[in-house]
Amino acid sequence: MLKKIGVKILKLFIGFFMAAYGTICIINSNLGGAPWDVFHQGVSYKIGITIGSASIIMGVFIVIIDALLGEKIGVATILNMIFIGVFMDLISLNNIAPIPSNTLMRVVTLIEGMIFMSIGTVFYMKCGLGSGPRDGLMVALQKRTNKSVQLIRGSIEIGVLIIGCILGGIPGIGTIITALGIGYIMKIVFKICKFDSSKVKHRSIEECIVYIKRELYEDKHTEKEIIDSN
């Protein structure tokens, strides 16, 4: 059972890294960052911090909104809020993501970024240990409105893009492509992965603790049975 928990944690961090990698790919495409990145960029300019730090700070506020909308705040929600920002700075500072040199490769890198973001989202949301702050907002609104993930995600992206521009973030053609296309790409990736975000039952932090304790108890109980049988 401990192995089962370990696999979930591994999937979480793979998802976080993939989402962060996808985000930096979009930024590196130099066609304009994704709407959330323009938003974080605007915040970073106003406060004088890195874009990763801005992502973490805004994640705290979004978690509060998620809680007010009735979305469960799990262990993965908190880890997502911290580590995607950390991984973004790590990937950016170490030049891990590709930096395209021509227009065609910029478009390819932009699309690659959206795909990685979507796959990363599937990885960490499937664990059921709490969605990311921004994904939690998407799921909460999807449940309340009963609209498609494509429409909800697209509306959120356009909203944060407008705020980001007001704060001083710099959009580009890639920003518009991402705002209009991320919901569609995410819908395709979700369908390929047979994943319905509105049907995932996330555990709250308290439920996660109970779950881990139960798994540990079952591990000890199973081990005792094996020893007794020998």
User: Each residue of 27-60: pLDDT tens digit?
Assistant: 899 898 778 888 988 999 888 888 778 888 888 8
Q: What is the mean pLDDT of residues 80-94?
A: 87
pLDDT value at position 113?
93
Q: What is the mean pLDDT of residues 110-128?
A: 89
| Distance, CA of 122 to CA of 96 (rounded, Å) | 22
Residue 185 has pLDDT above 80, yes or no: yes
Listed residue (33, 208, 203, 23) closest to 121, CA to CA: 23
Helix, strand, or coil here: 173?
Answer: helix
Exposed, middle or buried: residue 67 (CB in 10 Å: 0-12, 13-18, 19+)?
Answer: middle
Listed residue (123, 118, 127, 139) closest to 62, CA to CA: 139
Q: How far is CA 90 from the centre of its chain?
A: 16
Residue 217 has pLDDT above 80, yes or no: no
Residue 180 banded pLDDT, cuts 50, 70, 90: confident
Q: What is the mean pLDDT of residues 7-19?
A: 90
Listed residue (48, 54, 50, 21) closest to 36, CA to CA: 54
Please state, as a whole number, how many other Cβ atoms lie within 10 Å of the Cβ of residue 144: 11
Q: What is the mean pLDDT of residues 200-216?
A: 73
Listed residue (174, 175, 170) closest to 45, CA to CA: 170
Listed residue (11, 37, 13, 44) closest to 23, CA to CA: 37
Helix, strand, or coil here: 60?
Answer: helix
CA dihedral 154, 19, 114, 97 (to 10 degrees): 150
pLDDT value at position 222?
55
Q: What is the mean pLDDT of residues 187-204?
A: 81
pLDDT value at position 13?
93
Tokens of 222: 């199973």
